[in-house]
A and B are shown apart, each in its own frame.
Chain A
């Protein structure tokens, strides 16, 4: 049998590409999760919605795909702002009166996600949508012409790393970025020191949703815009937890780790079990190391 290097490399490439997608989406998710402490389950739905938006802009609007992506960014930001202002903020306000059931914010976020994911097929039908033709679908062949490095991967992998590093730099250097980091660390103290935590939550959600556009582009290019793909969110949550709560660098590492693990595992497992590796990993991390790889905010225990 021997070790099939070509297959291994192919899977590594697939893993890195997937990792790039997860990294961008998870980073946006974590921004929201760490600042406003809400499991923003609707994030996945936002990404999917944006991928449909891009699809529409390209097919009906005739825009070149990078332009479509740029146009989609403010749409994403608007979406995020709406969610924060129309839903999360009022729910948080109610939470202070103390009569909400457990996990009310998460339920609201589930509701939003459910709404979005079910309205899309009413408009677009249920089959996944892909970008027409396009160079993104091609690949270059290496390794004795046995391994195909897809163009999408060639773009996505460095782009995602660059994007995240740029964001982390921004967080470290700019005043808004520092405010966000302060709120991530301790919202109570931030409030006392005079930082506007409410506005920071809004900024985080908008930023996260803007990042969702990046995710949307990778998504539509690699898997197509598919409202029936319902396990993106759990993978993102797994990435966030494995990376570690509170650590944005950890998210980057975890995203690629998860992408690689679930793809390289296909050397030994059948295709449909690939994602199971992620779930097992997630459960292991939650049980034995809730801090994740790099995190520094521990899980609360009953």
Chain B
């Protein structure tokens, strides 16, 4: 149970936490206290353990989940030792180092489960319940979202989901499950003290997850079977006795963990099995297919359904940016910039490297918080809102490096973009399974249609990390418009894209603005800028140097001077 809980945050969401044992202990102690003072009924104690651990997990998550990597491990390790220290030094409540004894076996009404086989049945039932919950969560769009947070949390924010809240929720849930495991432990052994909760088992949990395979459901189960049956096996074969067997077990699994990390980090669950379960193909797309499809440079006619979704009915919002400024350290990167983006128009921002274009874009959509200034979308002020809130107001962005969720398929990537799905709420997933499945199927269909629109339908099942630059960018573009935002900010949409795909992207952008979207893009390819733009803004050194129609801008001397410097442009003029 602990392994499944751990895999939820580790394998699926990419959070390496060391606090599992602390939550396990909390659940155990909370239940023991309830049994001691309130009632012997198992359900009450179990709920206390579960809810208490959930709350604790939420609290710990609040203070530590914004930390990355090493720091998260350290912080959670500190939490573990702190909680154990608190438990050890509160004798009036927890019995201190003596612990709490005579914890009653589970009692339901008047029925008490006294024998071990009965305990086993209870434990297995609860485990099954946990596994079913985990299975449903991972299979639902929520699971996809967890993987997305693991792979690229900035992209998740840009699509309108709050990665911090997602992490906190799954962390709290994982803590609650760990707490539940603790409750079972307490009622099984009927005695707990601080020494039952050392940090060493944590490594076993990690080992279980890795050995079985992280990020799967079967993995932690397989891993825990292996880890726990081995010492029994050793004892049976008389290779070890009671005291040394735990040392041998730990040493063995420490070694196995090391070996696996080096040799096969995916764990022991075989890959073809995983893939078949997920209906996914892992080979590189066949080159022939790619050439044939991508050479179809013109976008096919928009499917009806896509057009209906994408067309903006009335004149869309106007985005008014006033006096936007942003400095990093002493460096003023965006200096008092004001501009207006109108719907149905493509506005391009060009300028030399370091002019502040990407920072300006980031400020508009909330990835970066501007120091001063305002950004109004249809009258609403969004300048100080974080990226995921900006999407709620209809502003979405893409990234220069696409930032697809590598381990998901192209279609799944697009599916993450759709907003406000029921499948994103854990309670909905559990309680309204049918509705969620229905909705999921709809969204899957819509994602397919989007892919077909740009002639990438055949790539729907391929992992995103195997796609070419152009295919990736197109998928990322589709993912962004899936959010339904009317204001689309594109950061160098042709970066890393092969020349034969550029006309397709150009046509895509043109179609977006024809449908009524407000498009703003940063570009370096001048032909594209001339082709597409209704309005061009030239930035230099943090300020807007000039703006005008595409032809005006291209012809201006000022532009040449900005890009090429004084001497060269003088030569050009002379010629």
Interface string of A96-108 (1 = CB under 8 A from B): 0011111110111
Minimum C-beta distance from B62 to chain A (A): 10
Q: State the CA gap A286–B60 with chains docked (Å).
A: 13
Interface string of B257-286 (1 = CB under 8 A from A): 110011001100000000000000000000
Task: Determine the chain A residues whose CB is within 8 A of the CB of B73 once the complex forms.
Answer: 39, 103, 106
Task: Determine the chain A residues whose CB is within 8 A of the CB of B124 once the complex forms.
Answer: none
Whether A39 and B63, one on each chain, are in contact in the complex, defined by CB atoms closer than 8 angstroms, is no
Minimum C-beta distance from A104 to chain B (A): 5
> Which of B89, B251, B258 has the most chain A CB atoms closer than 10 A to its own CB?
B258
Within 8 Å by CB of A112, from B86, B198, B258, lies: B258
**Counting CB contacts under 8 A, is B97 at the interface?**
yes
Task: Determine the chain A residues whose CB is within 8 A of the CB of B63 once the complex forms.
Answer: 283, 287
Task: Determine the chain A residues whose CB is within 8 A of the CB of B465 once the complex forms.
Answer: 98
Task: Determine the chain A residues whose CB is within 8 A of the CB of B258 once the complex forms.
Answer: 87, 108, 111-112, 115
Minimum C-beta distance from A44 to chain B (A): 12
Of chain B, the residue at the smallest CB distance from A227 is B247
Task: Determine the chain A residues whose CB is within 8 A of the CB of B82 once the complex forms.
Answer: 276, 279-280, 283
Stretch at the interface among B9-17, B294-302, B345-353: B9-17
Whether B66 and A231, one on each chain, are in contact in the complex, defined by CB atoms closer than 8 angstroms, is no
Stretch at the interface among B176-184, B200-208, B426-434: B200-208
Minimum C-beta distance from A144 to chain B (A): 33
Q: State the CA gap A234–B69 with chains docked (Å).
A: 16
Task: Determine the chain B residues whose CB is within 8 A of the CB of A117 once the complex forms.
Answer: 200, 250
Whether A279 and B85, one on each chain, are in contact in the complex, defined by CB atoms closer than 8 angstroms, is yes
Task: Determine the chain B residues whose CB is within 8 A of the CB of A102 once the complex forms.
Answer: 10, 14-16, 69, 150
Of chain A, the residue at the smallest CB distance from B261 is A108
Whether A91 and B254, one on each chain, are in contact in the complex, defined by CB atoms closer than 8 angstroms, is no
Q: State the CA gap A103–B11 with chains docked (Å).
A: 11
**Counting CB contacts under 8 A, is A177 at the interface?**
no
Task: Determine the chain A residues whose CB is within 8 A of the CB of B77 once the complex forms.
Answer: 234, 237
From DSSP, what is the main secondary structure of chain B's interface residues? helix
Whether A103 and B16, one on each chain, are in contact in the complex, defined by CB atoms closer than 8 angstroms, is yes
Q: State the CA gap A272–B97 with chains docked (Å).
A: 10
Whether B10 and A115, one on each chain, are in contact in the complex, defined by CB atoms closer than 8 angstroms, is no
Within 8 Å by CB of B257, from A108, A231, A280, lies: A108
Whether B97 and A283, one on each chain, are in contact in the complex, defined by CB atoms closer than 8 angstroms, is no
Number of interface residues of B (CB under 8 A): 58
Q: State the CA gap A39–B14 with chains docked (Å).
A: 17
Q: State the CA gap A210–B250 with chains docked (Å).
A: 26
Number of interface residues of A (CB under 8 A): 49
Task: Determine the chain A residues whose CB is within 8 A of the CB of B206 once the complex forms.
Answer: 107, 110
Task: Determine the chain B residues whose CB is within 8 A of the CB of A99 once the complex forms.
Answer: 265-266
**Counting CB contacts under 8 A, is A121 at the interface?**
yes
Of chain A, the residue at the smallest CB distance from B153 is A302
Whether B254 and A112, one on each chain, are in contact in the complex, defined by CB atoms closer than 8 angstroms, is yes
Interface string of B543-572 (1 = CB under 8 A from A): 000000000000000000000000000000
Minimum C-beta distance from B11 to chain A (A): 7
Within 8 Å by CB of A290, from B71, B81, B163, lies: B71
**Counting CB contacts under 8 A, is A127 at the interface?**
no
Of chain A, the residue at the smallest CB distance from B207 is A111
Of chain B, the residue at the smallest CB distance from A106 is B73
Task: Determine the chain A residues whose CB is within 8 A of the CB of B218 once the complex forms.
Answer: none
Interface residues of B in 77-104 (CB under 8 A from A): 77-79, 81-82, 85-86, 88-89, 97
Interface string of A289-302 (1 = CB under 8 A from B): 01000000001111
**Counting CB contacts under 8 A, is B164 at the interface?**
yes
Whether A231 and B81, one on each chain, are in contact in the complex, defined by CB atoms closer than 8 angstroms, is yes
Task: Determine the chain A residues whose CB is within 8 A of the CB of B253 once the complex forms.
Answer: 111, 114
Interface residues of A in 254-302 (CB under 8 A from B): 270, 272-273, 275-276, 279-280, 282-283, 286-287, 290, 299-302
Task: Determine the chain B residues whose CB is within 8 A of the CB of A39 once the complex forms.
Answer: 70, 73-74
Of chain A, the residue at the smallest CB distance from B265 is A100
Of chain B, the residue at the smallest CB distance from A39 is B70
Q: State the CA gap A286–B198 with chains docked (Å).
A: 23
Whether B261 and A114, one on each chain, are in contact in the complex, defined by CB atoms closer than 8 angstroms, is no
Given A111-B207, A121-B247, A276 contacting B257 (CB threshold 8 A): no
Whether A237 and B74, one on each chain, are in contact in the complex, defined by CB atoms closer than 8 angstroms, is yes
Whether A238 and B251, one on each chain, are in contact in the complex, defined by CB atoms closer than 8 angstroms, is no
**Counting CB contacts under 8 A, is B114 at the interface?**
no
Minimum C-beta distance from B161 to chain A (A): 14
Task: Determine the chain A residues whose CB is within 8 A of the CB of B11 once the complex forms.
Answer: 101
Within 8 Å by CB of A107, from B70, B163, B257, lies: B257
Within 8 Å by CB of A111, from B74, B163, B203, lies: B203
Task: Determine the chain A residues whose CB is within 8 A of the CB of B65 once the complex forms.
Answer: 302
Q: State the CA gap A302–B75 with chains docked (Å).
A: 14
Q: State the CA gap A106–B17 with chains docked (Å).
A: 12
**Counting CB contacts under 8 A, is A90 at the interface?**
yes
Whether A275 and B81, one on each chain, are in contact in the complex, defined by CB atoms closer than 8 angstroms, is yes
**Counting CB contacts under 8 A, is A118 at the interface?**
yes
Interface residues of A in 109-154 (CB under 8 A from B): 110-119, 121-122
Whether A111 and B69, one on each chain, are in contact in the complex, defined by CB atoms closer than 8 angstroms, is no
Whether A101 and B10, one on each chain, are in contact in the complex, defined by CB atoms closer than 8 angstroms, is yes
Q: State the CA gap A238–B77 with chains docked (Å).
A: 10
**Counting CB contacts under 8 A, is B170 at the interface?**
no
**Counting CB contacts under 8 A, is B255 at the interface?**
yes
Whether A276 and B203, one on each chain, are in contact in the complex, defined by CB atoms closer than 8 angstroms, is no
Task: Determine the chain A residues whose CB is within 8 A of the CB of B69 once the complex forms.
Answer: 102-103, 300
Task: Determine the chain B residues whose CB is within 8 A of the CB of A91 once the complex forms.
Answer: 261-262
Q: State the CA gap A106–B72 with chains docked (Å).
A: 12
Whether A118 and B66, one on each chain, are in contact in the complex, defined by CB atoms closer than 8 angstroms, is no
Task: Determine the chain B residues whose CB is within 8 A of the CB of A104 once the complex forms.
Answer: 261, 265
Whether B79 and A111, one on each chain, are in contact in the complex, defined by CB atoms closer than 8 angstroms, is no
Whether B251 and A276, one on each chain, are in contact in the complex, defined by CB atoms closer than 8 angstroms, is no
**Counting CB contacts under 8 A, is B395 at the interface?**
no
**Counting CB contacts under 8 A, is A191 at the interface?**
no
Whether B85 and A230, one on each chain, are in contact in the complex, defined by CB atoms closer than 8 angstroms, is no
Task: Determine the chain B residues whose CB is within 8 A of the CB of A237 once the complex forms.
Answer: 74, 77
Given A102-B69, A299-B68, A299-B71, A279 contacting B81 (CB threshold 8 A): yes
**Counting CB contacts under 8 A, is A172 at the interface?**
no
Of chain A, the residue at the smallest CB distance from B255 is A115
Task: Determine the chain A residues whose CB is within 8 A of the CB of B406 once the complex forms.
Answer: 98
**23 A/B residue pairs, CB under 8 Å, sorted by A:** A91-B261, A94-B262, A103-B73, A104-B265, A106-B16, A110-B257, A111-B203, A114-B250, A117-B200, A118-B248, A234-B81, A272-B85, A272-B89, A280-B82, A282-B74, A282-B78, A283-B63, A286-B71, A286-B75, A287-B75, A300-B68, A300-B69, A302-B163
Please give the residue numbers on chain B whose beta carbons come within 8 Å of chain A beta carbons, in ascending order: 10-11, 14-16, 63-71, 73-75, 77-79, 81-82, 85-86, 88-89, 97, 150, 153, 163-164, 167, 198-200, 203, 206-207, 210, 214-215, 244, 247-248, 250-251, 253-258, 261-262, 265-266, 406, 465
Which 10 pairs of residues, A with B, have the shortest CB-CB distance? A114-B254, A111-B257, A115-B254, A118-B251, A111-B258, A300-B68, A276-B85, A118-B250, A103-B16, A111-B254
Q: With A118-B250, A279-B82 given, can you name 4 additional A-B contacts, CB distance below 8 Å? A: A106-B73, A111-B254, A283-B75, A300-B71
